[in-house]
Amino acid sequence: MKRLLIDPVRSAVTLAVMLPATALVASTVIVIAMVSKTSPLIERTIRAWSRGWFRLSGTSLEIRGTFDPRRSYVVVSNHASWLDIFANFLATPVPLRFLAKKELFKIPILAPAMRAVGMIEIDRDNAVTMHQWINEQARTVVGRAQSIMVYPEGTRTRDGEIKRFKVGAFVIAIENGLPILPVTIAGSFDAFPPGATLHGGRIVVEIGDPIEVTQLEGSDMRELTRTVQELVTSTRARLDRELSG
184-241: pLDDT as tens digits? 999 999 999 987 788 899 999 999 999 999 999 989 999 999 999 999 999 999 999 9
Closest by Cα among 195, 197, 165 to 183: 165
pTM, two decimals, is 0.93
38-93: pLDDT as tens digits? 999 999 999 999 999 999 999 999 999 999 999 999 999 999 999 999 999 999 98
State yes or no: pLDDT of 9 exceeds 90. no
CA dist 203 and 222 (Å) reads: 30
